Structure 1
């Protein structure tokens, strides 16, 4: 890979909410949104279930990863950084 290029991938995720106890959960019927790995993305991709942060520090649950051609990277909003937090994919608030 040329030195001016970097790994790219589309990250499909659902924004997370936090309850009064600090537990993270996905709102029922939350839609999946795409982001991409950017040039300045920090952390390491673990895989589905991982929590990542957007550039605005919104926590997102990663549900799937797809390949992205470097030339198409500007079609998607870059994410901020990966965390080491991994949640079950079926994570939903139960009441």
Structure 2
């Protein structure tokens, strides 16, 4: 890979919020939205259920990952950083 290129992927996720006990829950009426890994994305991509932050610090739970050609990266909004926080998708969706 050229030094000016970086790994890209589409991250499909649902916005989450914290409930009164501080547990992450999917926002009511939330729809899956795509983001992408950006040049300055921090952290490591995990598996569905991982929570990441958008560039505006909105928490999002990862639902699925798709391949993304480097040349198509500008069609998607970059996300900010991955966290080590996770949630069980079976309970939330």
TM class, shorter-chain normalised?
over 0.9
SS of residue matched to 1:2: coil
Q: Deviations over 1:26-47 (max 9, x none)?
A: 1344210000000000000011
Partner of 2:55: 55
CA contact (8 A) 1:11 1:62 kept: yes
Give matches, 1:71-90, under 5 Å. Answer: 71-90=71-90
CA RMSD of aligned residues (A): 1.3
In the TM superposition, what is the alpha-carbon distance from 1:89 to its structure 2 partner? 1.1
The CA distance in 1 between the partners of 2:26 and 2:59, in whole Å, is: 10
- Structure 2: give runs of 5+ residues left out of the alignment: none
Partner of 1:11: 11
Aligned residues: 93
CA, structure 1 residues 42+32, in 2 after alignment: closer, same or farther (shift >3 Å)? same
* Larger proportion of strand: 2
The CA distance in 2 between the partners of 1:27 and 1:56, in whole Å, is: 16
The CA distance in 1 between the partners of 2:69 and 2:18, in whole Å, is: 34
Q: Deviations over 1:27-69 (max 9, x none)?
A: 3442100000000000000111100000000000000000000
Runs of 4+ in 1 over 3 A off after TM superposition: none
TM-score by length of 1: 0.92
